[in-house]
Structure 1
Amino acid sequence: MKIENTQVQMRKGILEYCVLKIISRGEVYASDMLEELTSAKIMVVEGTLYPLLTRLRKAGLVDYKWIESKSGPPRKYYTITEVGTEFLKGLDSTWKQLVTSTKKISAQRTS
């Protein structure tokens, strides 16, 4: 078993949460999201982000609008919807529980 495979699966598991967290801060362009996710070592494959954004939009969690660019074609900027904000609150709660649980497990002594 390769550790890299497990690490990839762990990152995939929190990707949706991280994307919603980024979008919740305000309008954001997909390439800016990609840059932040890559620098945080959450995602390194560009082809993963766009299908996820499409799924989030179809689920009503995010929306987008086209904004004219001074340096090229219009850009699609994403925002979180009210439904997405409520969904993210649930994910925030789950994340806090997971962090607490993993810290508790990590702190356990083996006998």
Structure 2
Amino acid sequence: MENKLKILHLEDSSSDAQLVYRILKKGNFEFELLLIETEEGYIAALDEFVPDLILSDHSLPSFNSHRALTIFRERKLKIPFILITSNVSEEFAVDVIKKGRTIIF
């Protein structure tokens, strides 16, 4: 049986989440997607869902990608963390890239 890629998606906009989901479906690979929008949910998902990949919006109602990245670094995770957003400055994007993360606008 083929393993599914476990994707943790930090997003609070249902339309943005649907867009990402549709793009992933076009990739023709098996995946399981967990949509989270709170810091508590994120921490629980890291422990219980154990993702292979994290996709993150920058600005969420209760926390943001800075905090998500801090938690990610504290746990020394060795999985991709990809920032998907249109709400950041060029300076922020450069800073994220310098820290070794990927950003998609």
In the superposition, the TM-score normalised over structure 2's length comes to 0.34
- Bigger helix share: 1
- Bigger strand share: 2
Q: Which structure's CA Rg is the greater one?
A: 1
